[in-house]
Structure 1
Amino acid sequence: MLLHCLTLRFTDAATDADVEAFRDALAALPDQVPFPIRTRQGRDLGERPTNADYAVVTEFADADDFREYLRHPAHLAVPRDHVASVHSVQFVVGDGPTDA
């Protein structure tokens, strides 16, 4: 299994409605892509001042599904107007392929 983890910061102008629109678009992705994915996401709890504002972890069967996801129209349509920065990492867990 390939895990895609990202953390992001929203712009200062981002409203709660903007963050909710982002969350809702991500939550809808598993039903819109032609392969199984599992996404978990949420706002930072504020435990550390250096943390990002939001995190997303998405599970894919393999690197091919991940690459298809990146170009899928539903993923490209996720609203990013109020995203200031993104950091991501992908890695393989379990007995799956290691070509990530």
Structure 2
Amino acid sequence: MYALQHEPRDQVAFDHGRHYPTRPPVHVHHNEDEVIHVIEGGYEFWLDGEVVPVAAGASIFLPRGVPHTFRVISPGPGRNLTTPDPRRAGGILR
């Protein structure tokens, strides 16, 4: 993941890749929603106990306050574009 310096009202997006089976720990964003668009590979998202598969070319909305994580489930690498709500993203990348 890339750390970015920005003003809270700026549009922020970051592109990063992952390999099966790595995943970030279950976490919660208290102040911002996220939209994750899968660019490459297949992902499986866990949102507060619900498992949601997301294929390349599809997106998923992650509302603030909901515990979540994800992992690549395809045999090759996965790549996604993460866009936090630009109005509330001030603390997400610090």
Q: TM range, normalised to the smaller chain?
A: 0.3 to 0.5
- TM-score, normalised relative to structure 2: 0.38
Structure with more of its chain in helix, by fraction: 1
Structure with the greater alpha carbon radius of gyration? 1
**More strand by proportion, 1 or 2?**
2
TM-score scaled by length of structure 1? 0.37
